[in-house]
Chain A
């Protein structure tokens, strides 16, 4: 589902000119922080996050006129950001060792599965679990769990009803928990 705000931006960008550029700036300021948060939790590097986000913006500006509007704009941006992050990280890891940003999480004691595992290890399993989720569930989990947005805010962002979002989040959580249990208990 496309929100009216997104529709207006897409229309203006497709038209081009100064109005299109202005719309692109508005879109970047609105979605930028969410995409930034999505990237930095994986890269643990502000400079690299900036480079990746720059590439995401270039691709968005370049391909938005061809966007067929079959999904929400955020879903489309999320996919571009995800692919770009994974692609650039793959290249960068060949050159330097990049560690996962374990500063963004805190592991609370009291769960037998997590005991004896480092924060980095737990995070890498958590990211691996998100990778195997369907896009819709991964998106909701990203916004709810990592970016701590309310379902109302996510509804405004994705155009999906709160009921559907809650269901997706619940399934995502169940799958991730099962995945972590399986990986850390072996």
Chain B
């Protein structure tokens, strides 16, 4: 009974001629030579790297002295901040009103609106009325003065069609 052959028995390998001994000797010599050359290059490269590094460090230090702004020393900036906190509110308002022309109107409006927004946030239902005024006082005042809110705000005059928008 013949043995069933597997796939690898159908894939036969042909022998390939190997190069002569000299070929491998040459490669070995070249490998040794290249490694020696590599060492020399590495040494000289390390040397040049040190020189290059020193040059970069020198340029960096030089640049620090050149590009540092001499007009704004750090100590002055710190002093200005602490001096401003010592000024009273009145002094600041006086200064601003005297030099109002130096400010741009748009900037002032912008700043004022920011301040207003912050203030509105602080108003709550509880502290909306000053503590010495009661709601009944206000009702009496309205009755006495006969103020009609609807009339005042023209709420009687409206087009019925406008209601359809809801």
Contact = CB atoms under 8 A, between A and B. Distances in A.
Contacts of A106: 11-14
B19 interface: yes
Interface in B1-29: 5-16, 18-19, 21, 23-25, 27-29
A106 B12 CA distance: 5
Nearest to A172: B8
B6 A114 contact: no
Nearest to B9: A108
A50 B19 CA distance: 10
A43 B106 CA distance: 77
B46 interface: no
Given A33-B18, A37-B16, A61-B35, A114 B10 contact: yes
A55 to B, nearest CB: 9
Given A110-B10, A122-B11, A24 B32 contact: yes
A123 B13 CA distance: 11
Nearest to A59: B31
Nearest to A24: B28
In this complex, the member of B5, B16, B35 whose beta carbon has the largest number of chain A beta carbons within 10 angstroms is B16
Contacts of A25: 25, 28-29
A107 B12 CA distance: 6
A103 interface: yes
B30 A177 contact: no
A113 B25 contact: no
A41 B11 CA distance: 14
A10 interface: no
In this complex, the member of B5, B19, B35 whose beta carbon has the largest number of chain A beta carbons within 10 angstroms is B19
B18 to A, nearest CB: 4
Interface in A34-57: 36-37, 40-41, 50, 53-54, 57
B7 A105 contact: no
Contacts of A29: 21, 24-25, 28
A104 B35 CA distance: 34
Contact of B14 (A27, A57, A103): A103
Given A24-B28, A57-B28, A113 B18 contact: no
Contacts of A110: 5, 10
A105 B27 contact: no
Contacts of B14: 103-106
A67 interface: no
A91 to B, nearest CB: 19
Nearest to A41: B16
Given A57-B31, A58-B31, A61-B35, A145 B16 contact: no
Interface string A78-113: 000000000000000000000000011111111101
Interface of A: 21, 24-25, 27-29, 32-33, 36-37, 40-41, 50, 53-54, 57-58, 60-62, 103-111, 113-114, 122-123, 126, 145-146, 148, 173, 176-177, 180-181
